[in-house]
Structure 1
């Protein structure tokens, strides 16, 4: 009863702080902070923590723990994260003078600024070309394309998925930045231009980028990316005021999503037992509420009793490489220790979990505390920045991209919040051409030689 009481108090307090920081927690008005709360924390972390504390989880990963005291330690530290993360956001909002509810509503109602000049189109045409070449490059360096192999009736799909992710022979930066990262953002940008201008050249560009985006989300048979990509488009339509969510639409979309997940589990993983979809500790439900957070408990035990703290060894390689330190990701170590056979067989990658796990793996409880404060401040500053930026196609698409991807990183690792090379690269690639054009325009106007090229 004690755990249930604490859990309920923490849930209410966390929700209140998130609402004060986000402006709204309505499911009908999803935003960056509400997705972090509902998806990353409440569903993927907090529900499971109660089941584990009560020892009713009956989950195969938690059963691997050698010491049950980590069930309790994990519960209380997750409660800490549930409160301290939004408290940090709330304090930042007060310091900056951010009026969450008012500024979010203002953003939704603000008109979209469209710049229709030939140079803008040529920039996005060139970036689309880069994305297409990067997708072709990704395909070229794959020994087999998992989705094609599935259609051909292959029976070793699990191995093919891991091979596509970890055994990729090409340059992973090209694949991750230009193919996986850039293409979906370009599809959203070109959609906005298509919707607002109704010009065939933008429509054609959108159809190309959209088709490529769908392919790059599903080529390795990962189940989550395609659903997150579709979520991006729902958010995009909301921010463009093309649609408004109602409870009937939310239920319909939820039903479609559940149906899609079941189909993917049956087709890709060969799950045929109906009870696997209903049990809380296995199948898609168990994966969401228990498997995701189980890795956090393994981090606590592993770096308390079995291995020394990493002391920064899992920080971004671009930072620790300056000191000739080899990067070691805690999620990979956890997988190697708890599932050595799967690693040897090539069917397991990393044991990603709540960011606090990697923060603890590096610096113990101090890392967990300071890391939680840092992540809260980081997320809130991103949220405030985008709500206050001009509402144009580029910034809207980036806002939607971060709104969907930051919650994924919250349950993916801590060091990505310190220096995420993918995010930095995408920002540079998308913003740098326009900075250059504006600089060129300024210089040309000063010399009297600039003439804007209108469509």
Structure 2
């Protein structure tokens, strides 16, 4: 037992120093992409729980399905390994690029966002208004094609079978999933952040109206299926947007206040969905929100290790994103769904079983074993640090701030959701493409003017000929 605790503390200290070097700061008053990944994806969602699991002190219901108890130590050692390899890769990449992340982060936080009216700003407003209209229509489309809306049923008092209603709302959506996911769940919150930042800095009627409409749509999209964490993450996105826009200062009192608001919001949702009895388990370390944070994300990793070591064949290329698997002429199989079917078949039969997502190493191990764990750790760390450094280097405008906030919050969540989204993610690609166009219209309008002049000149020559 003492050996496990000693290893845990040693790795914790080394990992913290590496993450601090890669991020530039782990201070809670200077939140950034790497620090949130450190605190949320690794420390809270993975590393603390791994110690309890290794010591067999978790008493968590999922791990009652573990067939081979030695997986507790095996999994613990893998988690310790990636706690070093991941931030070490971040640091090595930063050194190779030759930048000082501490200086970059400080400069980024001090610079005021550019919200000036540039020539051709009207083109940006037209584009933003058009995208906002699409987002509102996508929200209406989601309402229209969702067979049952759990939050409405809860308000109406029909809360007898909310678990199956949540599954039905997600799996039996009768519309086009891409419209809902891209133009609703992705586009709407990002546009709301852009409008929010402009409203904070300009305080005009247009930006205020745009923000409140998009805010209402975003809140609905994040709560209609009664998922508890998305609305808290959206609140975090709003706070980070205000912070990066220099409209909100972080200090200990405000951080504690935000934590209290988040806990109260989660408690209210737990009581609404599960009844007053949920209060009793709310603060238990292995149940309620605390158990969900400490164990729900990491426990399935141990089940992955157990199953794909002893009873299930490796997924290989079938574990890759659907686009890549299609190119290799195989059908995508998500390990989280396989594990749910293998470990909790009764939930599948009852219609309440979804997926057992976990830290990305679970999906990597299910597909390619230990070599997959090593390669994917290095690859994901490179992607994360590249985006982080680019974020700190780009011009600071409402559009770039919104994109930075989007990835600052979504990268940590994706890391504890699997590896596939880091290999190929069409939604992230669309986010980058869409916001690149908005950035050009917002910050580089002279480029548009030059392009139009060039096209006019070429067209005139063509006419003369």
1:235 aligns with 2:240: yes
1:327 aligns with 2:332: yes
1:352 aligns with 2:360: no
When the two chains are superposed, the root-mean-square deviation of aligned CA atoms in Å is 1.6
Q: CA deviation at 1:429?
A: 2.5
The C-alpha deviation readout for 1:312-357, integer Å capped at 9, x for no partner, is 2121111111233111000000011001110121112110110010
Question: Structure 1: how far apart are the matches of 2:391 and 2:439?
Answer: 18
1:60-79 equivalent positions in 2, closer than 5 A: 60-79=61-80
Question: Structure 2: how far apart are the matches of 1:197 and 1:251?
Answer: 29
* Cross-structure match for 2:59: 58
1:271-290 equivalent positions in 2, closer than 5 A: 272=277, 274-290=279-295
1:147 aligns with 2:151: yes
In structure 2, the CA distance between the partners of 1:295 and 1:447, relative to structure 1 (3 Å rule), is: closer
Q: CA deviation at 1:192?
A: 1.7
Match of 1:366 among 368, 371, 379: 371
Question: Structure 1: how far apart are the matches of 2:265 and 2:215?
Answer: 19
* Cross-structure match for 1:453: none
* Cross-structure match for 1:193: 198
Question: Structure 1: how far apart are the matches of 2:440 and 2:369?
Answer: 42
1:441 aligns with 2:449: yes
Q: CA deviation at 1:211?
A: 1.2
1:19-34 equivalent positions in 2, closer than 5 A: 19-34=20-35
Is the partner of 1:266 in helix, strand or coil?
helix
Match of 1:178 among 175, 183, 202: 183
Q: CA deviation at 1:290?
A: 1.1
Question: Structure 2: how far apart are the matches of 1:271 and 1:331?
Answer: 31
Q: CA deviation at 1:368?
A: 0.5
Confirm or deny: 8 A CA contact 1:166 1:349 kept in the other structure: no
In structure 2, the CA distance between the partners of 1:47 and 1:434, relative to structure 1 (3 Å rule), is: closer
Q: CA deviation at 1:270?
A: 2.4
Confirm or deny: 8 A CA contact 2:166 2:226 kept in the other structure: yes
Confirm or deny: 8 A CA contact 2:399 2:438 kept in the other structure: no
Q: CA deviation at 1:50?
A: 0.5
Confirm or deny: 8 A CA contact 2:267 2:279 kept in the other structure: no
Q: CA deviation at 1:108?
A: 0.5
Question: Which runs of structure 1 show a deviation greater than 4 angstroms over 4 or more consecutive aligned residues?
Answer: 433-440
The C-alpha deviation readout for 1:262-313, integer Å capped at 9, x for no partner, is 1111111225154312221111111110121101001111111111111121
The C-alpha deviation readout for 1:69-117, integer Å capped at 9, x for no partner, is 1001110000011111000000000000120110000001112122531
The C-alpha deviation readout for 1:384-431, integer Å capped at 9, x for no partner, is 000000101111100001000100001000111111111112222232
Confirm or deny: 8 A CA contact 1:40 1:410 kept in the other structure: yes
1:423-434 equivalent positions in 2, closer than 5 A: 423-432=428-437
Q: Which moved more, 1:165-174 or 1:379-388?
A: 165-174
1:189-338 equivalent positions in 2, closer than 5 A: 189-270=194-275, 272=277, 274-338=279-343
Task: Give the TM-score taking structure 1 as reference length.
Answer: 0.96
Confirm or deny: 8 A CA contact 2:360 2:416 kept in the other structure: yes
* Cross-structure match for 2:171: 166
Is the partner of 2:320 in helix, strand or coil?
coil
* Cross-structure match for 1:122: 126
Structure 1 gap ranges (5+): 450-455
Match of 2:411 among 406, 423, 427: 406
Question: Structure 1: how far apart are the matches of 2:455 and 2:228?
Answer: 55
Confirm or deny: 8 A CA contact 1:48 1:293 kept in the other structure: yes
Structure 2 gap ranges (5+): 458-465
Question: Structure 1: how far apart are the matches of 2:153 and 2:280?
Answer: 28
* Cross-structure match for 1:97: 98
Confirm or deny: 8 A CA contact 1:128 1:209 kept in the other structure: yes
Question: Structure 1: how far apart are the matches of 2:341 and 2:276?
Answer: 26
Confirm or deny: 8 A CA contact 1:81 1:372 kept in the other structure: yes
The C-alpha deviation readout for 1:138-162, integer Å capped at 9, x for no partner, is 1111111111001011111111111
